[in-house]
Structure formats: C-alpha cells, structure tokens
Amino acid sequence: MGFWDSVLGRTKPKQANLDALFSVPSAAVTLEASLGLRPTGDGSVCYRAAAGPAFANTQQEVLDLLRSTGDSPQVRVTQDDYGFTWIEVDREPGSSVDGLCTGLHAVNTGLEAQGFGPALLCTLVGFEDPTGRRVGLVYLYKQGTFYPFAPAPGGRQQRDNLLELQLRDLLAAELPIEQDLSRWLAVWGAPGL
C-alpha cells in the first residue's frame, strides 16, 4: 500500500486463503466431540455467475472435474431467490469431510484460476446434531474467514445467536473466525444446510 492510499484511507482487501477449508475436518472433530454436531456430507459454493461462454465453460469444467473422481459426489447447480448461483456437493452422510472440503476447494480454485475469483461469495459446510438440527460453517471468500450460521429450530427465519457465539468461541483456535458480526450474513435456504 502506498503513501497516497494511506492518506486517502484506502486499504487492500484481504486475500482469500482457500487452504483454510482444509482446517474444517479438524474443526469437525471438535464440533462432534463438544456438541455432537456431525458433518452432513453436504456443502456448497455461492457465487454471482457471469454472462458469457467463458464463465459457462469454466463452470462446466469444474462440474466435470468433480464428477470424474473415483468416489464422485452428487453435484448440482441451483440459483437462489437473490440471483446467486450455488454449486452443491453432496456426499454420503458420515463420509469423510476431507473429501467434501477437497471438492469445495476445487470449485473455488477452478473459478478463481480462470479469473472469476471476484464473483465468489462464500462456501458452506453443513453439520447436524442427533435431533436433526442443522448448522453451517460459512467461509467468506473475500474476507478469508469463517462464521457459524445456526437457524433456530421451528422453521422460522430466525437465528440461534447464542449457539452461533458458542460455535465461534469453540472454533476460534482452529479456524480464522470473522470478528465483524455484521458480516455474519444469514444464508436461508442455502444448499447443504
């Protein structure tokens, strides 16, 4: 950052560290041991799809790569009510969270390598307790940090803030946690959750 950037209050955006996704398996052990939360095998990557054949080809290459592995997961592309595109990667419940994180990492790096990194928004890894309650660990691409998202039971669009803070404190030593709570966005209806 240069002198004029400092004077004018400009800052460099934090670079994504996609390798942080490989810390999720360790965090999954902590979540299961402490709160009984197990990986669902579901995860997803959210981005704003670009128009044109270059983006369509890149997206198809990423999907083909995921589907070509020996134990290929189910992969779907969906669009939410806000116009964002999600690539959902589904593995069998109880399967290795390592494989899921590798697939999610491949989606992110595939889009990033072709110049579509600015379109990436977040990555979600789903967890579930024995009662069927789901929570997600959300990786913010542009921040390089995680935050927990815990919908309150009952199907209403309310969050369990106490559980989210408990998860934040529990995982602070294992994952780069987003400290600015205003960035802990609700991801209602996110695939994988």
Whether 7 is in a domain gets the answer no
End-to-end CA distance of the chain: 39
Residue 89 has a pLDDT of: 92
pLDDT at 17 exceeding the cut of 90: no
Listed in sequence order, the residues at least 6 apart from 170 whose beta carbon sits closer than 8 Å to its beta carbon are 30, 31, 34, 35
Whether 2 is in a domain gets the answer no
Whether 87 is in a domain gets the answer yes
Does pTM top 0.85 for this prediction? yes
Whole domain around residue 68: which residue ranges? 13-183
Domain tally for the chain? 1
pLDDT in tens, 34-77: 999 999 999 999 999 888 898 899 999 999 988 887 677 889 99
pLDDT in tens, 176-188: 999 999 999 999 9
Q: How many CB atoms lie within 10 A of CB 68?
A: 8
CA angle at 105 for the pair 193 and 66, rounded to the nearest 5°: 85
Instruction: Return the H-helix or E-strand segment holding 147.
Output: strand 145-149
